[in-house]
Homo-oligomer: A and B are copies of this chain.
């Protein structure tokens, strides 16, 4: 059939493996555009000499650009007929990606559960992204609510995977070549290293960024995300929101870029422990970010680097200082909260003094 219509809930079965199409070579062009689209500033991705000093062979591609491109690969097979992207778990950034590397993706269906209304169901997939050498660079689980083609179609037995609440510190991939002791805070101007953060600490990031139609759609096209809800205003006029929806992965990217001020010396993202898009984001919304340090982990065998587990809260049209509680009056997430992400970053430690 031409064209393919994407998979519906009844097309999936647990254990099914899907090789996603259209591998993508990431270039310095993609990196420049990512920076312009998100305002990202983390220095390892911007400054080749800094990357070299730390042991990288080039400035690595921003972890979330890799994530969003790999995610985009999975859309035509996994979520073209999705109603909602519900959550993430067990995301691991295993190998740095450099300009010139080519990313392809595969997924395995690891869980299925029909909804009680029988019109849709939850699909759990583990997706893996590989580079051109077949090395696994990124793996993550997500679950989406997918429509059924036919509500009368029989439902498979419910399988809900047992997902870890976090990627444990001893499982974090830390490149052996990485030289955290070569990092100098002068290159960012932010003086805080791993040692200077405490579990429970909260950082209200000062900047806000308003999204417009052209930039969020450029981003989703850069990621080759083909979900129609992001691009087709004509289609969305009859949807409840009445307009195009900002791709959630781009919301993550922007909120993470906003979190630079106060977390200047993050070297990389090591894990996405979990996360959800709690409310939709639209063009015209201004995004803000708050970070909470959930845990502070030393890393086995490393005196130069530590890990911080951080809760990144994305807000719309609401500076974080004005947010009293993450819960709204009705027990649902506050309507100003668009993202609640639990992730783990690597940061240099102070050397012996």
In chain A, positions 229-267 with a C-beta closer than 8 Å to chain B are: 231-235, 244, 261-264
**Also in contact, A188 and B221, with CB within 8 A (given A3-B206, A207-B231, A208-B234):** no
Residue pairs across A and B with Cβ atoms less than 8 A apart, 9 shown, are A3-B203, A29-B32, A29-B33, A39-B224, A39-B226, A207-B226, A210-B244, A214-B218, A218-B218
Residue A156 at the chain B interface, CB threshold 8 Å: no
**Also in contact, A48 and B100, with CB within 8 A (given A23-B187, A208-B228):** yes
Q: Could you say which residues of chain B place their CB within 8 Å of the CB of A132?
A: 48-49
From B3, B28, B221, B263, contact of A28 by CB (8 A)? B28
Residue A35 at the chain B interface, CB threshold 8 Å: yes
Residue A148 at the chain B interface, CB threshold 8 Å: no
Q: How many copies does the complex hold?
A: 3
> Judging by beta carbons under 8 Å apart, are A188 and B232 in contact?
no
- In this complex, how many residues of chain A approach chain B with their Cβ under 8 Å: the count is 77
Q: Could you say which residues of chain B place their CB within 8 Å of the CB of A109?
A: none
Residue A59 at the chain B interface, CB threshold 8 Å: yes
> Judging by beta carbons under 8 Å apart, are A234 and B31 in contact?
no
**Also in contact, A50 and B23, with CB within 8 A (given A207-B231, A208-B234, A215-B218):** yes
CA distance A192 to B192 in the complex (A): 55
In chain A, positions 105-123 with a C-beta closer than 8 Å to chain B are: none
Q: Could you say which residues of chain B place their CB within 8 Å of the CB of A319?
A: 234
7 additional A-B residue pairs with CB within 8 Å, beyond A24-B46, A35-B224, A210-B234: A23-B47, A47-B102, A49-B132, A76-B189, A226-B261, A232-B286, A234-B319
Residue A152 at the chain B interface, CB threshold 8 Å: no
Residue A186 at the chain B interface, CB threshold 8 Å: yes
